[in-house]
Structure 1
Amino acid sequence: MDTSSNSARQWTPESLFAMAGLMALAVRLVQGWIFWGGASRRFFYDFHSIHGSEYAVKLDPNVHGYLANKLVHAMPGSMFPGLLQWVVMHGGFLLFMVWFWSLVELVVGVGLILGIATRLLAFASLGLNISLMLIFGWMGSTCVDEWTMASAGFAMGATLMVTGSGLWSVDHWIANRWPSLGEKGWFRWLFSGPLPMQATRRWGAALGILSLLFTVGFYQYIHGAVISPLHARVSFHKHDLALNTLSAQTDGKLRFHAYVDAGPDTAKLYLIDARLVNAQGKTVENWNGKQLSTLPKSAIDNLFHQPWASQIKPTRYGLGGITGAKAFITLPGQHSLASGRYTLRLMNIDGRTWSAPVTVS
């Protein structure tokens, strides 16, 4: 008795895709839970009591834990730092985007867990992971966390676009409950169900190659090590400070713009010494950590004034700023200076220094 031919005749396109979706169940549930977890922490779990009122910390622009500060942290290494700065500076639009993307994450997460509109929501998950890569992909001080999340998430979404959700899903229940609906082409492309085999082969191959290009391409762009030695495009291990727009007066007063444009977002860069050096290498002005730590508020003009945003502020050790902070800093004059060219040198608590030329006029 030839059982192989009988067994083969049992596999219809419907049963093949139902089983393929079931095989990808772990991918769907985990991808869905990742998005549900991120959104639910903002909407349902992370509440703090402030003066007797409950606030959703990550969604409230009036509290320090507001989610938008992650954009400030990510700005130095993002693909579009200027665009992010514009968004952060426009509070109403920023609040809309925070709620919009949080709601999209919530819908995608719940939808994938339940297996409803699976292919459509899997496509939406590609958009979320692309956004994650473009904005946060450079970050991750221990194991390139955000690049890993975005790469894996993109591949998971691409897989679900091909397989659909399979047997254990709302999509499958709808198709069984209303067969005429389940046979509609638009239902199969947006929800789940069998696709033409030729289209399945093409989409499977194309999305697989695209996932590889997405992963490897951004690894090279952000971290190197594909066609070049391993290097970070923007360091997420060590802080860096960009200095510009320097000016000084003959009374010794100095003004400059500082931007913490690299480093981990989990710790501050601490400046504990600032000095002005003349052309002969002699220090003519010096502000130590104690003097920096007692600068008045009027001496530090931060670009981001929001209570939740990264700022450069006086600390116990000097001046401190978390990644993304930008500010004009004015140091008081202590000695008269002759006109000419000088060098400003700043040192952080680790002994690292930054220098920039300044003209006294």
Structure 2
Amino acid sequence: MSALTFDGAAAVSNPAAQRSKADALRVAALGLLSIRFIQGFVYWGGGSRRFIYAPAKLDPHAASWMANKFQSAMPGALLGTDHVIAFLLQHFYLLYASLILFSAAELITGLCLMAGFLTRAAALASIGFSVVLMLMFGWQGATCIDEWTMAACNLAIGATLMLGGSGAFSLDNVLLTRRPALAERGWFRWMSGALPLPMQSGTFQKLALVVFATTVVFNVATYDYYRGSVITPFHGGPVSPSKHHLSLTDGVLLPSGAVRFHAFLDGGTPASPSNVMMAVLKSSDGAVLEQWDGTALSRLPASAISNEFAYNRFAAGPFGLQAKMGATGTITLPATGNADSASLPSAATLQLRTVNGNTFNVAVRAE
């Protein structure tokens, strides 16, 4: 069988030039060995934690159940992935199957990269993981966008391995040595990393530049969206990863005198819950019509809180109303006897005050 050049064409002359090219490819392969193994270890670590070392992450009854992390990412997820998360959270079997499949894919991809088996296919899978993780979790990180940083680096590494392959210390090389005929198989050239891609040098250069441009544009654009500092000044992002924010809508005073509203904790860190310590119903001139202090909020019955998702929820806490990141629900505050729908002014406002002094308002109308 004749030798194959970088271009994928057979070569029968100038063996010195071919040896020079082979040596250059070997040097490049050895240079990629460290990042190939560590990229694989990162993804193997993600999958193995859930299946082996911390199986509670895949236990729906455990506090560390992965659905909670998914829901915490929902407020800042990009390009419609927030709707995908919401859909999965509302369909348990699809959610559970998705988490199992994602974890298994991470585990298998990591093992393939560490071993250098079907390296280009595994690298392409790692690119997909990186893009999905950046879109869903990239906004998170209270002091820096650490989720984005990890995914951005993994995206660049995956792109490099997809183009460069795994010519050194890999199972792809072992397979090629034992079955030299694989060198003539297109699927092996595209999926493994033992040989250069089967294309002309000029075509490969164009592909490499397209991959480079796509990686740079995606990474830089998402960074600018999350934090600026590219074409705009630094900013905290459309969704704050450190300061809790409540979006309140649909405020209604019921005939019984109770106040109902919809709440969504759509900003802040998932490391700690948001705590609402007081709710006040005010008229347009600032007069207090109703008031619920921390004690009243902590005694709200479960029937007063209707959560849209079963994981991160609004609930009565020890010092008031408590919410975990991404919590969404409708809350009814019971009547205290100080106001009713007949006496409610045309313009009234319900104000929630959190433990750190932030206030959030919603207009209230009579039903």
Give TM-score scaled by structure 1 length. Answer: 0.91
Q: Does the residue aligned with 1:29 lie in a helix, a strand or coil?
A: helix
User: CA-to-partner distance for each residue in 1:148-171, whole Å, 9 max, x for gaps?
Assistant: 111101100000011101121111
Query: Where does structure 1 differ by over 6 angstroms across 4 or more consecutive aligned residues?
Result: none
2:204 to 200, 203, 219: 200
1:41 and 2:56 equivalent? no
1:356 and 2:333 equivalent? no
Matches within 5 A, 1:1-361: 9=17, 11-46=19-54, 56-79=55-78, 80=80, 81-192=82-193, 193-195=195-197, 196-231=200-235, 232-249=237-254, 251-305=256-310, 309-334=311-336, 335-337=338-340, 338-340=343-345, 341-361=347-367
* Alpha-carbon contact 2:176-2:183 (below 8 Å) kept: yes
Distance 1:241 1:218 in 2: 24
* Alpha-carbon contact 2:141-2:241 (below 8 Å) kept: yes
Give the gaps of 5 or more residues in structure 1: 1-5, 47-55
Q: Which amino acid aligns with 1:36?
A: W
Identity %: 38
Greater shift in the superposed pair: 203-212 or 283-292? 203-212
Distance 2:287 2:260 in 1: 20
* Alpha-carbon contact 1:265-1:323 (below 8 Å) kept: yes
Q: Structure 1 residue 13: deviation in Å?
A: 4.2
Q: Which amino acid aligns with 1:119?
A: R
Q: Identify the residue that residue 3 of structure 1 maps to in structure 2.
A: none
Distance 2:214 2:186 in 1: 25
Distance 1:9 1:198 in 2: 18
Q: Structure 1 residue 62: deviation in Å?
A: 3.0
Count of residues in Structure 1 that have an aligned counterpart in Structure 2 = 344
User: How much is the aligned-residue C-alpha RMSD, in angstroms?
Assistant: 1.7
Distance 2:290 2:312 in 1: 28
Q: Structure 1 residue 247: deviation in Å?
A: 0.5
Distance 2:163 2:322 in 1: 49
Q: Which amino acid aligns with 2:24?
A: L
Q: Which amino acid aligns with 2:339?
A: S
* Alpha-carbon contact 2:33-2:168 (below 8 Å) kept: no
Q: Structure 1 residue 197: deviation in Å?
A: 2.5
Distance 1:39 1:92 in 2: 19
Distance 1:13 1:108 in 2: 29
Q: Structure 1 residue 184: deviation in Å?
A: 2.7
Q: Structure 1 residue 355: deviation in Å?
A: 0.8
Q: Which amino acid aligns with 1:359?
A: R
* Alpha-carbon contact 2:248-2:264 (below 8 Å) kept: yes
Q: Structure 1 residue 7: deviation in Å?
A: 11
Q: Structure 1 residue 304: deviation in Å?
A: 1.4
* Alpha-carbon contact 1:251-1:336 (below 8 Å) kept: no
Distance 1:357 1:324 in 2: 22
Give TM-score scaled by structure 2 length. Answer: 0.90
Distance 1:11 1:288 in 2: 80
Q: Does the residue aligned with 1:259 lie in a helix, a strand or coil?
A: strand
Q: Which amino acid aligns with 1:318?
A: G
Q: Structure 1 residue 319: deviation in Å?
A: 0.8
Distance 1:228 1:255 in 2: 40
* Alpha-carbon contact 1:32-1:108 (below 8 Å) kept: yes
Is the alpha carbon distance of 1:119 and 1:184 closer, same or farther for their aligned partners in structure 2, counting shifts above 3 Å?
A: same
Q: Which amino acid aligns with 2:38?
A: V
Q: Structure 1 residue 8: deviation in Å?
A: 6.2
User: CA-to-partner distance for each residue in 1:197-244, whole Å, 9 max, x for gaps?
Assistant: 223322222222221111101111222222222221111010000001
User: CA-to-partner distance for each residue in 1:316-355, whole Å, 9 max, x for gaps?
Assistant: 2111111100121111111133033210011000000011
Q: Which amino acid aligns with 2:363?
A: P
Q: Does the residue aligned with 1:68 lie in a helix, a strand or coil?
A: helix
Give the gaps of 5 or more residues in structure 2: 1-13
Q: Structure 1 residue 251: deviation in Å?
A: 4.3
